[in-house]
Structure 1
Amino acid sequence: MKLTDAHFQTFIDQGFVVVEDFYPEEKRAAIAAAVRRTLPAWEAIKDDPPDPPLLKDDFPYADQFFNQLIVDWDIIKFVQRILSTEDIHFRYAHNWARYPDPSGIEPKLHIDNGNNSLLPANADNRYGQISTWYFPETVPADQAPMRIIPAPHRMDLDKSQYLTVPAGTIMIFNTHIWHSATLFTGKAGQRYSVTRIYGRADHYWEGVRSYTNRGRDEHLCTFIGTLSAREREIFRFPPAGHEYYTAETLAALEEQYPGWNARGEYNL
């Protein structure tokens, strides 16, 4: 789905926007099936559930399907508009599965800043990273729907909105607004989410988790080798034409990221 001016205005007004049917049904179903391949459904683990009741998979993914899903230009262009720059960096991605939680402990309301930036939060959208949560399956009220408070209301719990949403819904939000999961009170099922986070390239004080230390990771190397020069910039690589690129470094890059110059974009 194309993100519209109306979606943008909603984001500006409340710090987040919820969009149903974000992908065509065929793609939604493919995402749901791919998540289930790596994060089992409740029926498969109910006799030996995880403690705490949460399983995770994160970037760089062994399943290249999820690495490729990060390069979503509809989302990236929306983030560029919000953050007032063409120069966007991917920050982090993860898939989660939440399961029935017998603890009775309600998750804490928080903002994604203490673990996302060296700077305290402020009211300027440019200083909040943009987090996207996609729910490939229906989220009912008893399966830990996210709670989110529109930005003008800060921490006013009476203004909470709960993401009990149909399958295929995405929520895009500024990491400076208050939110949390809720308790998974149901006795069965799971709540899947696919999260991708982006920020301004020039905000070097921001970031959720580093991946510059993963340059030899086989899954990352395979993924980077498939991308265009412009797409690689989103993952912190210098643009084509940068002085770093020489015959020697291009040979080394081809060895590390097979397919590096398959499109001929780095020709000297």
Structure 2
Amino acid sequence: MELIEAAQMWHTDGFVVLPAFIPADELGAAVRELPAQFPTAEGFHDGTDRRRNRYIDDEFAGIDTFPFTSTELSLLAVSERLLELAGTLLGDDDIHMYAAESWAKYTGACDYDQDLHRDYLNHTLLVPSTAPGCRQVEMFVYLTDVPEELGPPHLVSRRHTDHLPAVPNWFLKPGQASESRYTDDSGSPELYAAEVSGAGPAGTVIAFEPGTVHRGTGLTAPRGARYSMQVCFRPASLQWGQRVGWAVRSFSPEWSAFVGRATVRQLQALGFPPPGHPYWTEETLAGMALRYPRLDLSAWETSA
């Protein structure tokens, strides 16, 4: 699918599924490093990986936050392909990645089957907007194949949700009750009837908006494991879209390893000023050389 066509679908439906968008050769290095970050399917199900207990009884326990143990995985989160997709969808070349997580799930570890919901409550201080320059995009990136039995997300087109108010945010499955103003406990049969599966092969990218109604589904494959990333982008000027502040992680070994191998564009997507910005002076360049000894500063030096 051409990026322009993908953007049209994203604007119309609130999401677009791009099967195998990232080719196998671009995934390979990150996938080979996954066992350093997460148990393999065998290690989890055979009980031979001592990290196993972390994933039991908590659907979110399998999340690691950027920068990752795997530098290759960190670089993949801001790969040229994903940055180009985000820029096209958002209609802006100056974009920032405001969150990135890698996620491992294992059959039987816990119940991953969620109620339909929207993500905006912890992705923006405001409410979702469709105005140009005011949108955010989330992406699910499949590191391995995610068929239906390995719990792909299900999503509902904006064609079925445009009438919904900003609150409530969660739409509970039938048989549940809640008194929270953020939940609708009517059973929402029309929404569940309209959901579509995001199943796809390794490299599939699902781009959606924080205001898109969706949910995670359960893993049923025997001895199954699912590995994915969630990366989130916004225009640099959109200050109310936030989830993680990178500075709090910027003195970790993982961050330094990432910075030492990242391109200028990748670092700009994390908040580094571009070449030619007034920030770059002899003083700051000297300081950056001390802080990041493996960072090639030549692009910024020539513009200082």
TM-score (norm 1): 0.88
Match in the other structure for 2:186: none
Q: Does the residue aligned with 2:208 lie in a helix, a strand or coil?
A: strand
Contact 1:130-1:197 within 8 A present in 2 as well: yes
Q: Are the counterparts in 1 of residues 6 and 16 from structure 2 also a CA contact under 8 Å?
A: yes
Question: What secondary structure is seen at the aligned counterpart in 2 of 1:97?
Answer: strand
Is the aligned partner of 1:121 residue 2:128? yes
| Residues 147 and 161 in structure 1, CA contact (< 8 A), matched pair in contact too | yes
User: Within 1, Cα distance between the matches of 2:211 and 2:156?
Assistant: 11
Shift of 1:97: 1.0
For the pair 1:77 / 2:112, whether they are aligned, the reply is no
Residue pair 1:3, 1:78 contacting (<8 A) in 2 also = no
Residues 137, 192 of structure 1: 8 Å contact kept = yes
Judging changes above 3 Å, is the alpha-carbon distance between structure 1 residues 262 and 108 closer, same or farther for their aligned structure 2 residues?
same
Equivalent in the alignment of 2:249: 214
Check if 1:136 corresponds to 2:136. Answer: no
Greater mean deviation of Cα atoms: 39-48 or 59-68: 39-48
- Kindly indicate whether the alpha-carbon contact (under 8 Å) linking 1:222 and 1:258 is maintained by their aligned counterparts in 2: no
In the alignment, structure 1 residue 24 sits paired with structure 2 residue 41: no
Q: Which amino acid aligns with 2:92?
A: T
Q: Which of 246, 252, 255 pairs up with 2:281? A: 246
| 183-192 or 109-118, larger mean C-alpha shift | 183-192
Which 10-residue stretch deviates more, 117-126 or 204-213? 117-126
Match 1:165 to one of 200, 221, 233: 200
Q: Counterpart in 2 of 1:174?
A: 209
Going from structure 1 to structure 2, the CA distance change for 1:122 and 1:265 (only over 3 Å counts) comes to: closer
Name structure 2 gaps, 5 residues minimum. 162-170, 172-190
Aligned twin of 2:266: 231
1:43 is matched with 42
* Per-residue CA distance 1:17-73 (angstroms, 9 max, x = gap): 111222333333433333233111232122355222542222012221012112322
Does the C-alpha gap of structure 1 residues 188 and 220 become closer, same or farther in structure 2, counting only changes over 3 Å? same
Amino acid at match of 1:25: A
| Aligned partner letter, 2:26 | K
* SS in structure 1 of the partner of residue 232 of structure 2: strand
Give the secondary-structure state (helix, strand or coil) at the position aligned to 1:98.
Answer: strand
What is the deviation of 1:3? 4.2
For residue 257 of structure 1, the aligned residue among 265, 287, 292 is 292
Distance 1:169 1:103, change over 3 A: closer
In 1, Cα distance between equivalents of 2:228 and 2:220: 17
**Residues 257 and 180 (structure 1 numbering): CA distance in 2 closer, same or farther, change over 3 Å?**
same
Of residues 96-105 and 57-66 in structure 1, the stretch that sits farther from structure 2 once superposed is: 96-105
Cα distance, 1:126 vs structure 2: 4.0
Aligned residue identity for 1:74: R
Determine if contact 2:153/2:217 at 8 Å carries over to the other structure.
yes
2:88 is equivalent to residue 89 of structure 1: no
Aligned-pair CA distance for 1:84: 2.4
Q: Is the 8 A contact 2:156 2:214 kept in 1?
A: yes
**Matches of 1:69 and 1:227, distance apart in 2:** 10
Q: 1:74 to 1:213 in 2, by over 3 A?
A: same
Is the Cα–Cα contact under 8 Å of residues 285 and 297 in structure 2 kept in the other structure? no
> Which letter does structure 2 place at the counterpart of 1:110?
H
Identity %: 24
**Secondary structure of the residue that 2:101 maps to in structure 1?**
strand
CA distance in 2, matches of 1:131, 1:60: 17
Could you tell me which amino acid in structure 2 is paired with residue 197 of structure 1? Answer: C
Aligned mates of 1:173, 1:114 — CA distance in 2: 15
Amino acid at match of 2:40: A
Gaps of 5+ in 1: none
Query: Which shifted more, 31-40 or 207-216?
Result: 31-40
TM-score normalized by structure 2? 0.79
1:171–1:230 distance in 2 versus 1, CA, 3 Å: closer
- Residues 24 and 202 in structure 2, CA contact (< 8 A), matched pair in contact too: no
| DSSP-derived class of the 2:257 partner | helix
